[in-house]
Amino acid sequence: MAVAEPRVIRLLMELRGQGISDTRTLAAIEKVPRDRFVAEPFLDQAYENHALPIACSQTISQPLVVALMTQALDVTDRMKVLEVGTGSGYQAAVLAQLCRRVYTIERHKPLLLEAEARFRALRIHNITAKVGDGARGWPEQAPFERIIVTAAAHDIPPLLVEQLAIGGIMVLPLGDTDQDLVKVTRTADGIDIQHLGAVRFVPLVEGVPGG
Q: Which residues are catalytic?
A: 61
3-state secondary structure 108-137: CHHHHHHHHHHHHHCCCCCEEEEECCHHHC
Return the SS3 of 88.
coil
Peptide bond just before 143 cis, omega within 30 deg:
yes
Closest C-alpha among 30, 29, 164, 15 to residue 84: 164
Q: Which residue, among 162, 159, 165, 126, has the nearest Cα to 144 in the 3D structure?
A: 165
Contact by Cβ (8 Å): 58, 202: yes
